[in-house]
Amino acid sequence: MTQSLLLRCITSVVRRGAVPQPGRERGATVSALHGSERKGPSMKASRLFTLLGSLAVLISLGAGAVRPGAAHAGAAPNLLDRNTGIVVHNPKIVNLYWDGNWDGDNPSFHRSSIDNFTRDLVGNSHYLATAGQYGVGPASFGGSFTPSWLCGASRSGSMLSSVTLAAWVTCEVLVPGTGVPYPDINFNGIANTLYVVYLPHGTRINDTYTLPAVSLFGHTYGPYTIGNASCSSTTAGGYGGYHAFSFGGTNAFAWAVVVADCAQGSFGSVTGIASHEIAEASVDPYPTASWINSSLPSSSIFSDGEAGDICEHKSSPNVTIDTFVYARYWSNRDNACKP
């Protein structure tokens, strides 16, 4: 597997600097499983759903190969191609906080404030109204939840891999007794339930590998570091969040992650990352399979092809509505970034 393929492995990932702004994405890599487990039934559950999470991530690896048809976008206003057309028709956003003491550990991002932002996103802000042209209808808020003991640690560790994160999300969503609502059942290709995971201050994602140096015929090659990690510089592939999907029961479901540590105390950066990922997960739940600029080469499809990516480097990539910062995303109908 080449480095370029590794860099496109799991999902679309927001590339951001030290103080992230809603925008650039690229694929994250998959590293070895690690993380906390608890003894007893929860250990078994953790191991089981680590395997399920691994399966979900491996399935995600093929997302870049799902794009059907010939490329034909590229000229405004129709920068986004329909492709499969699968979208989250009526997003029901459920917030998952991987910290049982969220408010105590994250004084700048209280759970109630993030939940109020979510209510505004699906309500007064009309943020997803622009996505209606792509088939996304009215959204709703499905509540917020803290970790269940059934899925292991009550707080995420200081460093996670994307596989560990996928395992935890899958556990919280599918294990009976966690309290988290199951994905709804429909025949639209993806559940309407959209889960947004918030990682606390002090937690980052690291999917980098270091390949050791090798000497051949008197020449030393390496060591080489491949992959990327959250909160690092944009030139190093850093990101503040990404969106992915998993399979559970009778339906696939989309989920997104927001790395609060990357926001460096800025609540506006947290909401900017979250809105960016919610918009893109709604119109492109299987990354690169739905509404995306198909004319781009595979090397940049993850970094520049989705609705939010197109607006990242515009003059006004963000907008404030009802005191909350939102990331703009592309509208074919308006030939502009909206809202």
- How does pLDDT run across 216-246, given as a tens digit for each residue? 556 665 555 546 777 875 444 568 899 999 9
Asked whether residue 7 carries a pLDDT value surpassing 70, the answer given is no
Find out whether 53 and 30 touch, Cβ atoms under 8 Å: no
Give the pLDDT score at 250: 76
Instruction: Give 295: exposed, middle or buried? Use CB within 10 Å, 0-12, 13-18, 19+.
Output: middle
**Residue 139 and residue 330: Cα distance in Å, rounded?**
19
Taking the whole predicted model, whether its pTM rises above 0.75 is answered as yes
Asked whether residue 125 carries a pLDDT value surpassing 90, the answer given is yes
Single out the residue of 260, 236, 243 nearest to residue 308, CA to CA: 243
- Strands 224-226 and 12-14 come out as unpaired
pLDDT tens for each residue of 296-331: 888 788 878 999 999 987 888 999 999 999 999 999
Find out whether 106 and 307 touch, Cβ atoms under 8 Å: no
Give the pLDDT score at 223: 53
Q: What is the mean pLDDT of residues 260-268?
A: 91
Per-residue pLDDT band for 78 (boundaries 50, 70, 90) equals: confident
**Residue 170 and residue 173: Cα distance in Å, rounded?**
5
Q: Which residues pair with 101 in a beta bridge?
A: none
Give the pLDDT score at 264: 84
Residue 309 belongs to what H/E stretch? helix 307-310
Q: Which residues of 282-292 are buried (b: 16+ CB within 10 A; e: fewer)?
A: bbbbbbbbbbb
If phi over 0 gives left and psi between -120 and 50 gives alpha, with beta otherwise, what is residue 40? Answer: left
Find out whether 54 and 33 touch, Cβ atoms under 8 Å: yes
Give the pLDDT score at 219: 62
Find out whether 339 and 318 touch, Cβ atoms under 8 Å: no
CA 121 to chain centre: 17
Asked whether residue 104 carries a pLDDT value surpassing 60, the answer given is yes
Asked whether residue 152 carries a pLDDT value surpassing 50, the answer given is yes
Q: What is the mean pLDDT of residues 126-138?
A: 97
Share above pLDDT 70 across residues of the chain, in percent, rounded to a whole number: 69
Find out whether 101 and 150 touch, Cβ atoms under 8 Å: no
Single out the residue of 164, 176, 196 nearest to residue 30, CA to CA: 164
Single out the residue of 160, 133, 215, 200 nearest to residue 35, CA to CA: 160
Residue with tokens 């309407």: 192
Per-residue pLDDT band for 127 (boundaries 50, 70, 90) equals: very high
Asked whether residue 12 carries a pLDDT value surpassing 50, the answer given is no
Single out the residue of 300, 294, 197 nearest to residue 242, CA to CA: 197
